[in-house]
Amino acid sequence: MIRFRLTKIAETLPATVPFVGPETQERARGMRFDARLGANESVFGPSPSAVRAMAETPQWMYGDPENHDLRNALAQHLGTPPDTIMIGEGIDGLLGNLVRLFVGPGDAVVTSDGAYPTFNYHVAGFGGIVHKVPYNKDFEDLAALFETAGEVDAKLVYMSNPDNPMGTVHSGSDIAAALDALPSGTLLVLDEAYLECAPESSAVPVAYDDPRVIRLRTFSKAYGLAGARVGYAIGHADVISAFNKVRNHFGMNRSAQEGALAALSDQTWLRSVVARITSSRLRIAKIATSCGLKPIKSATNFVAIDCCRDSAFASRVLEEMLAQGIFVRMPMVAPLNRCVRVSCGTPADLDLLAEVLPEALRRAEKG
């Protein structure tokens, strides 16, 4: 028997995928989904100028390992120096590098129970210890996160604002005020993947180079470039520079760099997409309400729908929707898993949702 010499940490870990993708489920079903409303992608697509830029990019060339043009364009757009920005392979890639920089065996981190699981996945890979606090009425609990960080001497606290999977949002001013309680030596990892979908008041009014916070943003959501995997971190120049110790310097392909640059330049397209997301959220909420369910007010490109029962019932609703050709997801832990989560879709997608959801509920009732 061949025995590979994995690290002691790797030997203890299960081989897992944090999310089972719709493609995997389609292969199992032997057919495509009629509506893809579970991955929080932008079905409205990227700016046409981004599509052209990517199509015209010479594929024989490596991407610029410094991401110079995109970093500088983002710096100008945000009004911050380029040395406060790092480009990476989506927020997931940036999280992996950030955890690698900060977390070793036995180091503590804090997150919310049921929050985006990829952070926990990376922490486990480096032997860190994850401490979780529950949500408070479907919101991440700022006070509890920071209090727990002090109790366990956490190196990192992870939270998303707006939140995934519930779609709720704290005001930026509330987060800024709460930072006074963040323990010294603890870094807040603020995942702002959905910020473009949220009210302007959601942005945290502290300097981009505030050493207490590193913000993670992406072109995957409102900008519609999920397949290109372009994310960026904004923080103090010293922590941003540290990424160069561990990152894959050729991880960003040239097409993705050019597409993101063009997308950033087309703010008119971004505004049109945000308007369509807002309209779609309202219709999803209306469909849910008409079925006797409770939509949770969302600041993202999805809506968490409270099925008003337990997780077993929500799971049956989910399975019935999948069986009828609509890909959706649900939160993973109680009490969040009383919900199903529906991404914003086209009018045709939501017509199908309006047709399928009542039947899924009827079948789930019989379950």
CA dist., res. 247 & res. 348, Å (int): 41
Question: Low-confidence residues of the chain, pLDDT below 50?
Answer: none
Given this model, what pLDDT does residue 337 score?
Answer: 97
CA dist., res. 353 & res. 317, Å (int): 12
The structure's pTM equals 0.96
Residue 21, Cβ neighbours under 10 Å: how many? 12
Given this model, what pLDDT does residue 106 score?
Answer: 97
Given this model, what pLDDT does residue 47 score?
Answer: 98
Contacts of 363 (CB under 8 A, 6+ apart): 316, 320
Q: Residue 340's beta-bridge partner residues?
A: 305
Given this model, what pLDDT does residue 19 score?
Answer: 79
CA dist., res. 184 & res. 196, Å (int): 30
CA dihedral 203, 85, 73, 80 (to 10 degrees): 60
CA dist., res. 18 & res. 21, Å (int): 9
CA angle 179, 182, 184 (to 5 degrees): 125
**Assigned token pair, 184:** 């010294």
**Assigned token pair, 179:** 């930072």
Strands of the sheet containing 294-295, edge to edge, are 294-295, 302-306, 339-343
Q: Which element (helix H / strand E) includes 97?
A: helix 90-102
Given this model, what pLDDT does residue 214 score?
Answer: 98
**Domains annotated on the chain, with CATH:** 19-44+268-366 (3.90.1150.10), 49-265 (3.40.640.10)
